[in-house]
């Protein structure tokens, strides 16, 4: 009887953790998407860098992270060429 209760508690804790993890990923995706520039715009490095770091920590999809990294490198290249 006790093992069934423990198993139920463990399952509930796992579901809660999974929901929290998913919420963290979704929040990081939204933040990263908001920091990404529109087409033909340059990225704001000060916004994109922290959003990208948070997205990597949260486990955001590799394709979205790769796209953001590309945009960040482009923005850094533009900034360094202006100096």
One digit per residue, the tens of pLDDT, for the chain of length 83 reads 578 888 888 888 899 998 999 999 999 999 999 999 888 888 899 999 999 999 999 999 999 999 999 999 999 998 888 76
Q: Cα separation of 7 and 15, whole Å?
A: 12
Output the pLDDT for position 56.
Answer: 95
Asked if residues 32 and 41 have their Cβ atoms less than 8 Å apart, the reply is no
Output the pLDDT for position 43.
Answer: 87
Asked if residues 51 and 44 have their Cβ atoms less than 8 Å apart, the reply is no
Asked if residues 14 and 7 have their Cβ atoms less than 8 Å apart, the reply is no
Output the pLDDT for position 3.
Answer: 87
Structural domains counted in the chain: 1
Output the pLDDT for position 53.
Answer: 95
Residues 6+ positions from 24 with CB-CB distance below 8 Å? 58
Give the domain extent around 57: 2-82
């Amino acid at each position: 009887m006790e093992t069934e209760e423990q198993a139920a508690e463990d399952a509930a804790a796992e579901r809660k953790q999974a929901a929290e993890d998913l919420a963290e990923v979704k929040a990081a995706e939204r933040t990263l998407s908001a920091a990404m520039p529109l087409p033909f715009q340059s990225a704001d490095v000060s916004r994109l860098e922290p959003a990208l770091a948070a997205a990597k920590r949260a486990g955001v999809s590799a394709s979205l992270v790769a796209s953001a990294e590309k945009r960040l490198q482009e923005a850094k290249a533009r900034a360094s060429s202006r100096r």
